[in-house]
Amino acid sequence: MRKQDFPQITSAWNELFESMMHRHIKQAGQMSSVIPSIPLFEGEKFGVAKGEVPEPENLQEVSATLVLENQIVRTTNLFEFKRKLRDFANDMVASVERGFVSTLERQLSEAGQSVNFKGEPFTWEAYVQVLEKMPLQFDLLGRWVPPTIVLHPEQWPHVQRVIADAERDSEKMRQIRDLLMRKKAEFDDREASRKLVD
């Protein structure tokens, strides 16, 4: 029996599947949900931004496996299909975020801005060490714009406690004020020497 080919149905299904996958990935991934656009490349279906094909070394593999049992297809069990799709989206999100963190770690290391805690828990001293390495940003009114912290959700309560404890410690608050004053001076120097281009 010859395999049947239904290009119109396949094309419509691909568009629906792509739309559902992007929606599920955005919903499932805390990190992915704040990234406006994550280009995906798969065969001929997904395009590339502005028609430009990135260099191979700039691509990061993102993969997951979706298995649909024949029973699900034959009985059109939409509940089970959505469950499979959700599991697939979760696996895809995990792959996307592993690639994102891996790329971020490599670039920060190359720029000399990485800090390795060597498995130790997050501390105030570690936080200050991170801020010392970074060129901090300030808004038009001169107020500090704190950097975004990317970490595992289970670590966030501990980080909140460390920061809350520091806010009640006058010495630590003096330390952060001194650091911000130095960083603000560095920021002002950078802005004053910045060249505008047409």
Tell me, yes or no, whether 66 and 129 share the same domain. no
Confidence of residue 43 (pLDDT cuts 50, 70, 90): very low
- What pLDDT is stored for residue 14 in this prediction? 67
Phi/psi for 180 (5° steps) reads: -65, -35
d(CA 59, CA 40) in angstroms, rounded, equals 10
- What pLDDT is stored for residue 58 in this prediction? 61
Domain boundary among 88, 110, 132: 110
Domain count, the chain: 2
Tell me, yes or no, whether 58 and 16 share the same domain. yes
- What pLDDT is stored for residue 42 in this prediction? 46
Work out the average pLDDT over 51-74: 68
The answer to pTM > 0.75 is no
Tell me, yes or no, whether 104 and 130 share the same domain. no
Tell me, yes or no, whether 129 and 106 share the same domain. no
d(CA 57, CA 184) in angstroms, rounded, equals 36
- Strand 144-145 and strand 137-138: the pairing is antiparallel
Tell me, yes or no, whether 64 and 140 share the same domain. no
- What pLDDT is stored for residue 74 in this prediction? 72
- What pLDDT is stored for residue 60 in this prediction? 67
Tell me, yes or no, whether 30 and 53 share the same domain. yes
d(CA 190, CA 57) in angstroms, rounded, equals 31
The residue segments making up the domain with residue 83 are: 7-110
> Exposure pattern of 19-50 as b/e (b: 16+ CB <10 Å)?
eebeebbeebbeebeeeeeeebeeeeeeeeee
Q: With respect to residue 198, please indicate whether it lies within any of the assigned structural domains.
A: no
- What pLDDT is stored for residue 56 in this prediction? 60
Q: With respect to residue 44, please indicate whether it lies within any of the assigned structural domains.
A: yes
Residue-wise pLDDT for 7-24, tens only, equals 665 666 667 667 776 776
Tokens of 196: 């505008």
- What pLDDT is stored for residue 28 in this prediction? 63
Residue-wise pLDDT for 126-176, tens only, equals 889 888 888 899 998 989 998 877 676 778 888 889 999 999 999 999 999
Q: What is the mean pLDDT of the chain?
A: 75
Residue 33 has pLDDT above 70, yes or no: no
Tell me, yes or no, whether 77 and 54 share the same domain. yes
Sequence-ordered strand ranges (E) for the chain: 137-138, 144-145
- The amino acid present at 25, given as its one-letter code, is I
Q: CA 124 from chain center: how many Å?
A: 24
Tell me, yes or no, whether 23 and 96 share the same domain. yes
Q: With respect to residue 115, please indicate whether it lies within any of the assigned structural domains.
A: no
